[in-house]
Amino acid sequence: MSDDRAKSRRKRRQPTAESVKQAFENPDEPEEIDAPLNQSIETEQEPLHDRAFFTINNTTVEVELEDNVLTWSSLNGEIGSKEDSIRPSSSSKNRRSTKHTTHSLNLRDIYAVTPVYARWNWTTNVGENGSTVSSTPPVQNLQLRGFQLHAYEEIKKNILQEIVIMFQTSLPNQIEKWYHTLDKLVRTYYPPRNVLVLCNPYSGPRNGRYVYNAKIKPVLETAQYNVTYIEISDTCKPAQAITQHEGDFTNLYGLVIIIGGDGSVIDTLNAITRYLAKANRIQLDIDQEPPPLPFPLCIIPNGTTNIICHSIHGGIDQATPLFHLLFSK
């Protein structure tokens, strides 16, 4: 009988979905939530609760972090599919009601955590000379309202694409703890690296610059990689781009990305092989194995022929090789 009474008291202490929503609406007096502390996470601030409440697309979800797995489930049955919690969201017409729908992500499947700040309304003032002056707050004064998880999913066979999941709350202390802790954990798996991008803007469809700026650069910047971008062509061969750097090329860069077709890939591989042979005093010979590459090489297919990339990834999607590189797949 005493066990039944204890269970009854524990059930009464758990907050309902309605009380959680009220806590979001009144951040000055948030309701206390009984939850164990995650002892495995070391932060300079207070220990992070391994259970908290956020909103995804205006839907309240309960979020838990345990053994480096982030799990979230809806409290009011408004999330019916994985796509409903991912931007851009699917149409509300296709949304079905399911209670306690649960989703999870391993932190090793997240390559970056980025902050979400509260929107700021610009103010305009008219100066003495009649000019209009806009005033915006410094970045350090912006209020943190949430965070975004940058991960990937396989939409078709051999095709990967990025997914972005946004968690928001009006409780500043909670969002600070969760954002900084998740960011710290993800960085232990995927720390910033130096990457050299060799792009042939004249190969194939001659849109290499667009491919880099629209598809490659945003992902590398989100991952906070240090990027060196060099264009290669008939007048600037890959060998020139590699040998123009002073010092040890293999220590300077941890990744090399090639944007181009099979010709650009072959020229770059030959240039790197000759560089490594010279640096290690190895004489290249047909009967001798070439020196192994000391860093990953990523091929973004954008040429007239892209057989090499197709043989590696089973297709010529331009985002897929980059996510294989980020997650070392």
**pLDDT tens digits for 17-32?**
343 333 334 444 444 3
Domain with CATH 3.40.50.10330 in the chain: 194-326
Mean pLDDT across 44-66: 80
CA proximity to 149, closest of 192, 191, 105? 105
Map the chain to HEC letters: CHHHHHHHHHHHHCCCHHHHHHHHHCCCCCCCCCCCECCCCCCCCCCCECEEEEEECCEEEEEEEECCEEEEEECCCCCCCHHHHCECCCCHHHCCCCCCCEEEEEHHHEEEEEEEECCCCCEEEECCCCCEEEECCCHHHCCEEEEEEEEEEEEECCEEEEEEEEEECCCHHHHHHHHHHHHHHHHHHCCCCEEEEEECCCCCCCCHHHHHHHHHHHHHHHCCCEEEEEECCCCCCHHHHHHCCCCCHHHHCCEEEEEECHHHHHHHHHHHHHHHHHHCCCCCCCCCCCCCCCCCEEEEECCCCCHHHHHHHCCCCCCHHHHHHHCCC
- 88 pLDDT higher than 90: no
- 43 pLDDT higher than 80: no
- pLDDT tens-place string over residues 122-141: 444 444 444 444 444 555 56
Question: Cα–Cα distance between 116 and 170 in angstroms, integer?
Answer: 12
Question: Cα–Cα distance between 192 and 108 in angstroms, integer?
Answer: 15
What was the pLDDT predicted at 253? 80
- Which amino acid makes up residue 62? E
CA proximity to 169, closest of 185, 152, 151, 146? 146
What was the pLDDT predicted at 52? 93
- pLDDT mean across residues, the chain: 77
CA distances for 6 relative to 1, 14, 36, angstroms: 9, 13, 18
- Residue position matching structure tokens 């091929």: 299
The rounded percent of the chain whose pLDDT value lies above 70 is: 68
- 265 pLDDT higher than 80: yes
The rounded percent of the chain whose pLDDT value lies above 90 is: 50
What was the pLDDT predicted at 139? 55
What was the pLDDT predicted at 207? 97
- 215 pLDDT higher than 90: yes
| Alpha carbons within 13 A on the beta-carbon side of 73 | 10
76: pLDDT confidence band, cut at 50, 70 and 90? low
Contact 116, 146 (CB under 8 A): yes
CA distances for 179 relative to 15, 106, 116, angstroms: 23, 16, 10
194-326: CATH class: alpha beta
- 213 pLDDT higher than 90: yes
* Ramachandran sector of residue 213 (left: φ over 0; alpha: ψ -120 to 50; beta: rest): alpha
| Alpha carbons within 13 A on the beta-carbon side of 36 | 7
Compute how many other C-beta atoms are within 10 angstroms of the C-beta atom of residue 277.
Answer: 16
194-199/255-260 β-pairing: parallel
**What is the model's pTM?**
0.73
